[in-house]
Homo-oligomer: A and B are copies of this chain.
Amino acid sequence: MPEMAAPESLPIRPVGCIWAPMSSIVYEYPLPILERHLDTFGHVNNATYLEIFEEARWDAITRGGYGLDRIKATGQGPVVLECTVRFRRELTSRVNVTVVSRVTGYAGKIGRMHQEIRLPDGNVACDADFTFGFFDLQKRKLIEPSPAWLATFGLTVEDWQAGASG
């Protein structure tokens, strides 16, 4: 089932506002849409948008100092719990998009990240909200964010505690 552009007038539901706003690092990840991203309809399929968002998150946490090596070394890493994705515009090959990612809230063990795939003209082709946690890979359970993990997004323990009570 292909994914295509939602009409402008589609009532986009407002992002839930129970989260205290946070000032995390805003990561930008430039990416050309390639032929391998295209499905048989000649555009990017909905599952592929998720791959693109994931690739941008890996880029962000790697640049922030918490890449795969660190996850393996510490035995702690992020886990996606839920996502909501809005497909707004078609993407076709050789368009240079930018994925913009930032943490918008972190309450207790549950964080929230907003991501957008932006077209060269600034329009948003797709945006998504991810609910995530920090995970102990051995004990298989969610844990509170470590200072190093928070620092990946430019956040401090104080930011997190404020978010928790926000």
Size bracket of the A interface: 35 or more
A102 at the interface (CB under 8 A from B): no
Taking the complex as formed, is A144 at the interface, i.e. its CB lies under 8 A from any CB of chain B?
no
Secondary structure class of chain A's binding surface, majority of residues: mixed
Bound form: Cα–Cα A125–B42 in Å: 24
Are A2 and B36 neighbours in the complex by a CB distance under 8 Å? no
Please indicate the chain B residues that have their CB under 8 angstroms from the CB of A38 in the complex: 39-40
Q: Give the chain B neighbours of A3 by CB distance below 8 A.
A: 43-46, 49, 79-81, 87
**A145 lies within 8 A of chain B by Cβ:** no
How near does chain B come to A77, taking the closest CB pair, in angstroms? 7
- Interface: A84 (CB within 8 A): yes
| A162 adjacent to chain B (CB < 8 Å) | no
Which of A40, A44, A67, A78 neighbours the largest number of chain B CB atoms within 10 Å of its CB? Answer: A40
Are B5 and A88 closer than 8 Å at their CB atoms? yes
